[in-house]
């Protein structure tokens, strides 16, 4: 394994800034690692190294680059996001030969910040489902055990960073698509606040369910990428300005202080729930997350079980997701249903059938849930829970059908611990918390108050350092 691949993104960027390593050297290292391991995991099926080399040859660093500048660091982009001149398929045979003529605004921003795009990461068709397979590129497998799934829909992105194919990757998250593969692949995935990463153009610009965010092997690297992704973009009506203090600076400052962030005089207050009262969770997953919570207590956190009421989340989310698919996916697949997977068609058609009263009730329930979460954060700093109800499963399964005797009604019902949080509009992270007895990673999901991205990253960095799991080094597929 090339030693450059073992560097964190922050270490690599520091070497680039000092001129001790060059962008072409890092492109070569990424290409060699992808050639070495991707045949076993199928994370980056579309590659654009020559485009990256051409961009690197024209790269001129600004005098004052600002937070998140990447100095020519290679990364991959999820295959739901367009990159000019590169094949973008959305994982669908309906678009398997599509070459993008322009880039998503989020990619434009990354390239202005010195990112070099070396490939597109695999995703399920239209990002539908948390198991990464499609009929264009096939199945992405879990590097910890290639018989299993890395989750999805940002499965290719998670595996690319877990295996050291690249240092950073973007992902997207509607029902858990950043957090679930982060948990299954043993990396860090952040679902930021809506608007934190400007997107577009998109069909539902006022939608707060779907966001893009960063994936990496460490919290510090996630903070670096979020700094690169953040910033006001007036083309996106939800776009937020970059924070006054960079995310990296906040993390570093809190690490130097050595104490958990809190708004309360008595110290950090965290509620832990093993299941949000919504669904059974595998006992081994719960035990690993509870052990991580005990580490937080030793760091000074006051942990209780006073989680907010999430009742009605599944019914609410199923309606809102369906009408999202009806508005954004259905217009693109009409006349092409013979080459689109059944779950996508079902979800879009379900949205078309929802009545006005059903949609109104879902919106009302989301509002009530937000009011409950806002009240919760008046007396807590964070909410913690497992990221996923079970460890990684056989990649030949289309979705998880049962856990602890609970059978799931739909292909997305097993994502309940992440999509329930999506409804609240709060930032949430999946952080490696430990391993099962069979050696599979398990993620702890931590949720912060609305727009509390910085404090969430700071807490996560402190817990990551205390856990010292050794997951920062790239894993070679087994």
> Whose CA is closest to 388, among 185, 225, 220, 244?
185
Which residues sit opposite 190 in a β-bridge? 429
> Whose CA is closest to 118, among 182, 63, 70?
70
Which residues sit opposite 446 in a β-bridge? 384, 429
Residues comprising the chain, all counted? 478
Separation of CA 451 from chain center: 16
* Catalytic residue check, 18: no
- Give the separation between CA 460 and CA 404, rounded to whole angstroms: 29
Q: Are 186 and 216 in contact (CB under 8 A)?
A: no
* Catalytic residue check, 78: yes
Q: Are 161 and 392 in contact (CB under 8 A)?
A: no
φ, ψ at 131 (rounded to 5°)? -140, 120
Cβ-based neighbour number of residue 133 at 10 Å = 25
Residue with tokens 């809506």: 194
- Give the separation between CA 144 and CA 163, rounded to whole angstroms: 9
* Catalytic residue check, 57: no
Longest dimension (CA), the chain: 62
Separation of CA 369 from chain center: 23
Residue with tokens 């829970």: 385
**CA-to-CA separations, 44 to 169, 298, 422, 478, in angstroms, rounded:** 11, 40, 27, 17
Structure tokens at 225: 């990428």
Cβ-based neighbour number of residue 192 at 10 Å = 26
Catalytic, out of 92, 103, 153, 239: 153
Cβ-based neighbour number of residue 401 at 10 Å = 14
Q: Is 360 exposed, middle or buried (0-12, 13-18, 19+ CB in 10 A)?
A: exposed
Separation of CA 4 from chain center: 24
Catalytic, out of 103, 172, 177, 313: 177
- Give the active site residues: 78, 153, 177
């Amino acid at each position: 394994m090339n030693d450059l691949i073992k560097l964190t993104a922050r270490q690599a960027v520091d070497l680039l800034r000092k001129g001790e390593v060059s962008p072409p050297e890092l492109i070569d290292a990424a290409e060699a690692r992808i050639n070495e391991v991707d045949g076993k995991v199928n994370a980056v099926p579309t590659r654009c190294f020559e485009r990256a080399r051409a961009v690197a040859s024209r790269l001129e660093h600004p005098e004052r680059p600002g937070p998140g500048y990447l100095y020519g660091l290679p990364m991959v982009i999820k295959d739901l996001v367009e990159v000019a001149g590169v094949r973008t398929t959305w994982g669908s045979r309906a678009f398997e030969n599509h070459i993008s003529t322009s880039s998503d605004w989020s990619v434009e921003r990354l390239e202005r910040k010195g990112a070099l795009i070396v490939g597109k990461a695999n995703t399920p068709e239209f990002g539908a489902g948390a198991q990464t397979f499609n009929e264009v590129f096939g199945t992405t497998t879990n590097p910890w055990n290639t018989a299993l799934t890395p989750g999805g829909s940002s499965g290719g992105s998670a595996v690319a960073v877990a295996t050291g194919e690249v240092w950073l990757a973007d992902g997207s998250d509607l029902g858990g698509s950043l957090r679930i593969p982060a948990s299954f692949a043993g990396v860090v995935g952040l679902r930021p606040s809506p608007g934190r990463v400007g997107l577009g153009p998109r069909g539902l610009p006022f939608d707060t369910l779907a966001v893009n965010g960063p994936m990496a092997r460490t919290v510090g690297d996630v903070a670096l990428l979020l700094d690169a992704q953040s910033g006001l973009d007036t083309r996106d009506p939800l776009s937020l300005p970059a924070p006054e203090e960079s995310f990296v600076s906040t993390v570093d400052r809190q690490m130097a202080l050595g104490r958990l962030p809190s708004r309360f005089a008595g110290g950090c207050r965290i509620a832990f729930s093993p299941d949000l009262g919504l669904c059974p969770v595998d006992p081994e997953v719960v035990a690993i997350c509870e052990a991580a919570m005990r580490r937080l207590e030793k760091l000074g956190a006051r942990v209780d079980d006073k989680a907010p009421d999430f009742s009605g989340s599944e019914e609410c989310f199923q309606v809102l997701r369906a009408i999202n698919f009806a508005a954004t996916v259905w217009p693109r697949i009409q006349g092409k249903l013979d080459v689109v997977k059944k779950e996508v068609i079902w979800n879009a058609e379900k949205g078309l059938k929802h009545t006005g009263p059903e949609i109104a009730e879902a919106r009302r329930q989301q509002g009530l849930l937000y009011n409950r979460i806002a009240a919760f954060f008046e007396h807590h700093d964070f909410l913690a829970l497992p990221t996923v109800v079970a460890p990684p499963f056989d990649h030949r399964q289309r979705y998880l059908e049962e856990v602890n005797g609970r059978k799931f009604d739909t292909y997305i019902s097993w994502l309940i611990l992440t999509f329930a949080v999506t409804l609240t509009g709060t930032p949430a992270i999946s952080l490696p918390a430990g391993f099962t007895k069979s050696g599979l990673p398990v993620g702890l999901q931590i949720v912060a108050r609305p727009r509390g991205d910085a404090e969430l990253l700071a807490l996560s960095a402190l817990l990551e350092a205390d856990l010292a799991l050794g997951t920062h080094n790239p894993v070679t597929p087994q």
